[in-house]
Amino acid sequence: MVHKMIKINGKYVDVGKVELESGETITWEQLKLKDPPLIPYGSSIEVIFSFEEKDYLLGKDGIVWATYDKRQAEIIQTTLLTQNIAVELEEENLGNHNLFLLRVTEKKEMQNAIDFIWKSPGGLNLTPDWHYRKGEENKSFERWLSG
């Protein structure tokens, strides 16, 4: 898995308060720090979010697509099967969410599946679910489905 980081800068403005460059304020209390540091006012602060980016689209371990919507996964699976691309549907639990994965069973078909699902304008031309707000339908999938 690829580790990525997002850095946000700010300034320590009051006891337990950090003002971010965006103007938003966060507190040690919000971050639930057990032993907050004692920092002089005006000190520069850097908040770093670190996350593991899973590769759900580029064929790692045969996975060519992932969606929170089982219906979407089943329809894409059927569509790939009609293209003579063998694909299995799997489920991965991500805390409170289930992610439905499409895994191509023959390595030589991976690029064809990737191109068909999201790369090629002549294919399904889908955008991953996580490019939309939580709970919002995948507009690219619904657009393709409705023709």
Q: Hey, what are 80's tokens?
A: 């790939």
Q: Hey, what are 63's tokens?
A: 């996975």
* Distance, CA of 80 to chain centre: 22
Smallest Cα–Cα separation from 90: which of 122, 67, 57, 118? 67
* Distance, CA of 103 to chain centre: 17
| Longest alpha-carbon distance in the chain | 65
Instruction: Provide the whole-model pTM.
Output: 0.72
Please provide residue 125's backbone torsions phi and psi, each rounded to the nearest 5 degrees: 55, 50
pLDDT tens digits for range 67-112: 999 999 999 999 999 999 999 999 999 888 899 999 999 999 999 9
Q: Hey, what are 126's tokens?
A: 């889908």
Q: How far apart are CA 25 and CA 87, in angstroms?
A: 47
Map residue 42 onto helix, strand or coil.
Answer: coil
pLDDT tens digits for range 132-142: 988 899 999 99
CB 111 within 8 A of CB 83: no
Helical H segments across the chain, by residue range? 28-31, 70-82, 110-114, 139-145
Q: How far apart are CA 123 and CA 113, in angstroms?
A: 9
pLDDT tens digits for range 9-23: 999 999 999 999 999
